[in-house]
Amino acid sequence: MLSRTVLSGENIILGSFIDEDIKKIIEWHADEKIMRNLDALPVKPKKETEIKKWLDECPQDTFRFSLRLKEGNELIGYAELNGILWPHRTGWVTIAIADETKWGKGYGKEAMQCLIRYAFRELNLYRLQLTVFSYNTRAMTLYESLGFLREGCYREFLERDGKRHDMYLYGLLRKEWKE
């Protein structure tokens, strides 16, 4: 079964999830290297019912997309706009390239460009924001290349391997966005 495409770039598509994706998502949630970039909580395996619920029960303030390669329709991650405050036209951005073999190939940048364009043009949002852990320098480089500005710092927010790490807040305003 093919997922329905909603947004697309040169090499990636953002679309709906399909039942066959659940097994792969469960694997991602059990992978410490992946989850350390996405969640401040310790890695905890997820059950199929938890993943199904996450996919099926998408709140009205959330737009969640599978992230696939155009060639072969391979699931490599997900992207979402969430926590949208409609009266203020503000939303949070989350992206995960969960297939480590796909890191550093530009798929995250392409997905973010699609998501930003969708947020500003289709949803009429004015502000996008996200958080990133200070050790995730790859992600910070990506966000800054897209125009996001570091606006704040949650100092020593989390502890990993006996060391404290900051979490940064990044923001992008519609008027600052360069298509």
Can you list the domains of the chain with their CATH numbers? Answer: 5-128 (3.40.630.30)
Global pTM value: 0.87
Q: Two tokens at 127?
A: 């502000």
Q: Catalytic residue, from 78, 118, 143, 170: name it.
A: 143
Name the burial class of residue 25, with classes exposed (0-12), middle (13-18) and buried (19+) by CB atoms within 10 angstroms of its CB: buried
> What is the per-residue pLDDT across 140-169, written as a single tens digit (0 to 9) for each?
999 999 999 999 999 999 998 899 999 999
> What is the per-residue pLDDT across 32-76, written as a single tens digit (0 to 9) for each?
767 666 666 666 777 778 878 877 787 788 999 999 999 999 999
> What is the per-residue pLDDT across 82-96, written as a single tens digit (0 to 9) for each?
999 999 999 999 999
143 is catalytic: yes
Torsion of CA 153, 93, 51, 35, to 10 degrees: -40
